[in-house]
Structure 1
Amino acid sequence: MSRTVLIIEDSATQARIIARMFAQQGCLTVVASSLAEARAQLDIRDFYLILADIFLGQDNILDHMAELRERARGTPIGIMSAGQRNDPVIIRTMLNKARREQADYLLPKPFSYVDVKQICTAIDQRALPDLSEQLAALRA
């Protein structure tokens, strides 16, 4: 699978910043500025990672986690806190909800290239079969 990341982010500036960081990791990026655009992209291709802002306009992406998981079976989902809400209590509440919704990765603002690199490394390691699987395949 190609390393294509679907970034669901309604702020063009935030999307450019995070896309640049993933490009440095050798990833291609597709930006969807709405849930409808994200649905359309998920209908036509598979992704290495779905990375979504918590607050998408007036919508909360966490309310749509089950749908994202259904549309992109097996694709890791990362949640960004891009800071559209200035209340730290709201951000903390949303990050806790992301954990409860079992987001695979959390990417808080301010975005850090080190965090992006760590996410890519973790996904790549998940994709590698473990040694016992490799040995079993060689014996077969």
Structure 2
Amino acid sequence: MSTTAVAPPTIQDAEALVAAAHRVAEAADVTVSVTVLDAGGHLLAFQRDDRAVLISGETSTRKACTALQLNAPTADLVDAVRPGGLFHTLPTALDQPLPSIAGGVPGHREGRPIGAIGAGGGAPGQDHAFASAAVRSLV
């Protein structure tokens, strides 16, 4: 196992992720909120479009947190939180919601998690596309 440190995302990285997600959302004529967290779950950047619904700020943050904690896109978790799914009881065990709505995507550097981005305000598939496009833009 490698003990070499992986560079964490910088504020510039986080701002670039937010800008990239907003560009893709704007091209789709969707107003969104975008949240970027570091690997420790700390807020690095957040921006809500003026016309985005207020709850989109909360959903973008929770999506990013869930993607980070489970190291998986939230789009992949929809079936896992349904009754009988692998994570069905996890929200109760953690005493916190576990959003399984698409729009949260973890970020990796050299194969290791470095943070996550969440987008909220569009349809779930749109939010996933906005967050995914942003992550791809930093590669």
Same fold (TM over 0.5): no
Structure with greater Cα Rg = 1
TM-score with structure 1 setting the length:
0.33
More helix by share: 1
TM-score with structure 2 setting the length:
0.33
